[in-house]
Structure 1
Amino acid sequence: MSVLSTSPAPAAPREPVPPHDAEASEEPAAPRTGRERVFAAADALLAAGTPITVTTVRDRAGCSNAVATTHLRAWRSEQAEARAEAARLPELPREVAALVERGVAGLWRQAVHAARREHDDERTDAEQLATALRQDADRLAGALDAAHAERGAVEEELRTTRSDVERLTGRLTAESQALSAATAAGERALGRADELHEALERSRDRIEELRREVGAAERARAGEAEARAQAQGTAAGLQESLAETRTSLEAARTESARAHHDRVRAESEREGALGTARRLEGEVTALREALQSARAQASDAERDRAEQLAARAQAEGEAAGLREALAAAVQDR
């Protein structure tokens, strides 16, 4: 069907929808809906002589690709209808119609070329956006893999920390048992020293008693020879008892010195065991703090993983919307 065909009752011609002039009023009302923003952006681009594509309209209107694609299609449809109404003229003479048809054919070719270029630009923009979305999805996937790897390292470190805590707890228990044993040995040594001290005191009392007896025997010796002989015999026996007592006293002194040495050594071992116990308690406290820090890092890794999954789902949703808009644009073409 020729573009120059006429109808029996042609409708009154309408001028193409003019672009909305931003300077027509001093305070123009700001468009609110997505359709109004897209139409206003397309009118402004048309007035400025800028190519009208989904990308330029989206950037100008500040909307998503899906909104820009849907309403830009409606804007173009209205522009086409307006141009079609303006093109409905009364029937021309045959000679003029032939000339006009040749001119229209040239204009049609130019319009087709322009439309193809515009379609190519839109397709290029869509492919670039799809590539960017795929790159974002790959980057998010890499970040997710890194988060998984970091989580594995944190879990391994946590297991190692738990093993160290159990090992140190066992060492602390063993040290505590050794300290208890050393304390008991020290208490036994102190008890033995007290017993030896009491034996020494008894020996001293016995020596004083013997000395008094010897003095009494010596005083009685001056009065009587028989008593002297008896006293001498008694003195000899007492001397033997004194020698035995002195031997016992020396043994008691030696045992007391040994007990004192054992007591000092037990006190030293007890102090060392207490120092070791305090050091182990400090190590256990540090390990508990490290365990709490590892748990906090694992919680942060889980939260980062959840955020990355949400970002990836959002990117996949935007990519799906872009694919649907691209498929709709291809079907319209």
Structure 2
Amino acid sequence: MAEANLTLVTEFLLIAFTEFPEWGPPLFLLFLSIYLLTLVGNLGMIIVIRVDRRLHSPMYFLLSHLSATDICYSSTTVPQVMAVLLECGAALSYARCAAQFFLFTFFGSIDCYLLALMAYDRYVAVCQPLLYVTIMTQRACLGFVAGAYVAGLFSALVRTVSAFSLSFCGNNEINFIFCDLPPLLKLSCGDSYTQEVVIIVFAIFVIPASMGVILVSYLFIIVAITRIRSVGGRAKTFSTCASHLTAVTLFFGTLIFMYLRDNSGQSSQGDRVVSVFYTAVIPMLNPLIYSLRNKEVKEAVGKILRRLKLC
């Protein structure tokens, strides 16, 4: 009888920020500005890398894919957030919510793998400079990136099937800005142990595995830097890794807060702020991080701007 009285959910209502309707227009403008800056910044980074031959190296090849992934990653969620703000809530069908969850997980996983590959690239450049050209060949880079996409696709597919195999019943309101894992788990009813184990196992393969590669790579890099005698040499070597370290800290810090912690007793308001940071703000900041702290990128941008002025 108890199971017969359960009302299965066929659509989800996104109600984030609807408790403050007066915030709708200013927040809409804020998210629109962030999204436009994300598109301009990442597209600009891709164009600069493609145009300037000095940036045709493995590091910038990986960075161009990171920028492309960030555009897709942000486009999966931010337009939906703007729609919620305009309409003071939005209804998503079961299929649309599943599609958004799949794409968000897919591009998020690729981001993790690309950041790990960029750490490995820095390790080879610093610790094995004489073998760099031999190891980080164009064919190897294409293989690494293809592997990141395939692994991201497999991870997203398994996690989406597991998440949407759960039974959602009762209240179908998601007090969140998009269809993410924490609010979906809160809506689930019945026995979800098997699905949650599968989701957690694949989260371990994405986040901690990527972090493991990054930490080991930088451990060897730090050891190599300490062996450099000149202060200027150490500073120059470390500066080549500073941008990547900043991006890694921001991205993985927020992901760990959301996915690798105990969700009991946590406020949904705090979760919403963190989700905004890693879905909207970080993709916008990445081009700034890699351009402002990178002399080669700044020189390439200046060169392109001078050409445009002459035209």
Do the two structures share a fold, i.e. TM-score over 0.5?
no
Greater fraction of residues in helix:
1
Greater fraction of residues in strand:
2
Higher Rg: 1
Higher relative contact order (CA 8 A, sep 6+): 2
**What's the TM-score once normalised by structure 2's chain length?**
0.29
